[in-house]
Structure 1
């Protein structure tokens, strides 16, 4: 069964090559993408069941044993995030086909969108499943190369400028990443995560702290935590809605995943992590205040994305089973809800012809279905009960209070304040875009572009794909009990680490 661990990486890579070769056949490209991502959802579901029932599944590539060879590992955390991410990428692909984001004024589909999208999915899967730092670096580079192509399609000057900002920041982060790998290898003689878990403890305290902080900076850039977030609000809003949705839903969460994995498996903390708690508080507040200052809907959502990264850092800073359980719940919730909101933003833009909140109005009458599709994830993001955001935030608040430290109490209060600010931001969007008099759609600024806006309508696949993600966020709340239970088991595995190490180094998985 261990071959199932490689399929989420190998299938989209092979499909990307096939899709590129068949670039003249738009329908074939679309079918390939849908079939492959559907297969990955099924595979991820099986991996999650097996990992939860029997422990981590490990595939030693090429038959080389760890820590010498390449290990792919599917434990409870990686399998759960892989499943949620696969559902999101599948829905976004359906949305993009409906929006014809791959066509851009051509009679046939662009040869680049579908292959690059599949490459991005392969990079995300590899990041979740890899068992060593170097292949984690490879995963980020796969995501960087494919995302750069996706973010700079329709080469306007604004998009190229945003793409360059995104790429330069990512390349600097990659240089720091490869430097960190070199320093870790020079210090320990290994880059295998399971092997590092034991060897890092033998390093001098000062060296361990320095390496740990470098890891935080590297993955903090990827996760867009304050003050390393400046690139995100300028980069994401310029891309088409489905591209922005998959970026917002997945790429920053991969950075959070890498932080969680390295800070629990390699760099251990024996009590609440005050530095991370401070960063979490600043990230929450700065992001929320930045959102309130925006008139551009996509920029506002981008700042809220930054703000809610702080909740995930909060749980990591608490650094116990309760805190990590809250992190996992929040990542699952946020992947789904944040991607959904950017898809809804695309629907709003298609109806109004603008992203400026001050030029919208009356959508609740003109497009009641879009109003519903916005309201549910917006309430969830704000943490209004009984939605998934409330479940995840409640777990984090309980963990913060349970930690019993002054720093944890301060961040808990900051989390409540941030929820109120998020609710205010969502109410502001509602009153400006959905209430008031119905406004005529603004004319399409580029009528020769296949990606039309201001039509007053949405294609059925766009609405259905968005509805699927809205339903998924509701399902997270409905299944809060089982999801919290598996998240708690995953958090327990993270805190102790022996299950992961034994599975990778010993070849045997234990409960």
Structure 2
């Protein structure tokens, strides 16, 4: 007897995946594949840098193609295992996730280039490049996943690899910093997992698009405010928001400078991204109730962070507190919840990824040329290295939010959004933070670049110009300057990201294309 044919179209994806669909998972798959290749050739450390850079460049190209497709055709979806969502695990790329993944991969390419001189044979043998590729796979997965539990999984992927990068070298200072980093992130992970368990118990699904379309029906019966507060705590700790920020300045100054650059530029932005995705897209009404609290947390993070920077004498510690202050600026847009405010937050995230990575690499070049990270010991770099001084001036202007660099426009958007929302005190906090950042980073510039100590080494004793360091700074300075002088393309992408968060219909429609809507 012939077996009856079974219609699986209601449960499984029957159409073959097109080549363009693979762009959705390529930014995660490529670094994993290249990381595996590096493990296979782990004894051939001379090959590691070239293979890692090739893998990251391929990932960058995939991210660029994905963002182009998202901007032209809307959110892109690929569901694993052929099971239809919400049963199959979906990767969903919208303008927000794809753009952040692109910028993060760009700085990773630059860091891999800089690591050619910063990471020696021992560091390569102990797995710097495989750890780096695995971390970028976790970062890309976090930005592109459409499932809350998988967001947790990808968080764990990049956290585990970041532990390896932190302790590479096994010095006492590194182990101390890694211990603090691990313990506090374990607390944040526990809160994240607890909130996700409550989320599944409430909605019966962890697919973000499915949650977005069910949230209104469950608002009267589900503990949505409890869920929102738990996620605010968990992601606030991951992003290093006040008062949960004390782990960052205790750990980010301990690893190699290229690792610190990658951490300072990328990792806290994943926490901010998670806050945007969950609080703004999934629980917008609950976020609105908590908006005053989030605004005060944002202001506290801004001011406390930059005051901490003013108190430091080690450049790496200064930059760690500047990272925290920037998280506060981004949280201001989340507190406002308006299109202009969210556009400012996304634009500031682009700026911060580029500028913070560049500032850490600048600190590495200054240490290479001056032999120290201390503000008390470095001096006179302008006379010996005028090109370095030019890079430093541009980056100081950028992080302070001054023209002609990238930090100006996101702060303009956030200040205007704060005033439009009737929160002049929040706009004052943003402007005050900019002033204090100018003082803090101006102090660094004056003491290390401009000041000329009487006992400084003569010009003839100066080390040679660092070619790789200058190349890395030039690559990052170009988009920093471009965002400041010609911000319109960046603002359009940020606006598309903000619109997608406030109106999730396109996101939901991409995941559930056959659903009939009124």
Same fold (TM over 0.5): yes
Q: Which aligned pairs between 1:72-471 and structure 2 lie closer than 5 A?
A: 72-99=91-118, 101-104=119-122, 109-201=124-216, 202-204=218-220, 207-269=223-285, 271=288, 273-403=291-421, 405=422, 408-437=423-452, 440=456, 456-457=463-464, 459-471=466-478
Moved more, 111-120 or 498-507: 498-507
Are 2:512 and 1:494 equivalent residues in the alignment?
Answer: no
| TM superposition shift of 1:436 | 2.4
- Give the whole-Å Cα distance in 2 for the aligned partners of 1:53 and 1:6: 18
Higher RCO (Cα < 8 Å, 6 or more apart): 1
| TM superposition shift of 1:392 | 1.2
| 3-state SS of 1:73 partner | strand
- Does the 8 Å CA contact 1:353/1:455 hold for their aligned counterparts? no
Give the alignment's TM-score, normalised by structure 2: 0.92
Q: Residues 55-75 of structure 1, C-alpha deviation per residue, up to 9 Å, x if partnerless?
A: 001001111111111100111
- Give the whole-Å Cα distance in 2 for the aligned partners of 1:455 and 1:133: 53
| TM superposition shift of 1:199 | 2.5
Give the alignment's TM-score, normalised by structure 1: 0.93
| TM superposition shift of 1:232 | 0.2
User: 1:504 maps to which residue?
Assistant: 511
| 3-state SS of 1:357 partner | coil
- Give the whole-Å Cα distance in 2 for the aligned partners of 1:217 and 1:286: 18
Q: Residues 78-132 of structure 1, C-alpha deviation per residue, up to 9 Å, x if partnerless?
A: 1111111111000010001132x1424x8xx424111101000100000000001
- Does the 8 Å CA contact 1:24/1:111 hold for their aligned counterparts? no
- Give the whole-Å Cα distance in 2 for the aligned partners of 1:127 and 1:372: 35
- Give the whole-Å Cα distance in 1 for the aligned partners of 2:473 and 2:167: 24
- Does the 8 Å CA contact 1:350/1:458 hold for their aligned counterparts? no
Larger radius of gyration: 2
- Give the whole-Å Cα distance in 1 for the aligned partners of 2:171 and 2:408: 40
User: 2:13 maps to which residue?
Assistant: none
Distance change >3 Å, CA 343–CA 60, structure 1 → 2: same
| TM superposition shift of 1:459 | 3.4
| 3-state SS of 1:224 partner | coil
Q: Residues 255-280 of structure 1, C-alpha deviation per residue, up to 9 Å, x if partnerless?
A: 00010011122111385811111111
Which ranges of structure 1 fall in alignment gaps of 5 or more residues?
Answer: 442-453
- Give the whole-Å Cα distance in 2 for the aligned partners of 1:78 and 1:238: 30
| 3-state SS of 1:191 partner | coil
Return structure 1 stretches of 4+ with deviation > 3 angstroms. Answer: 203-206, 438-441, 454-459
- Does the 8 Å CA contact 1:10/1:122 hold for their aligned counterparts? yes
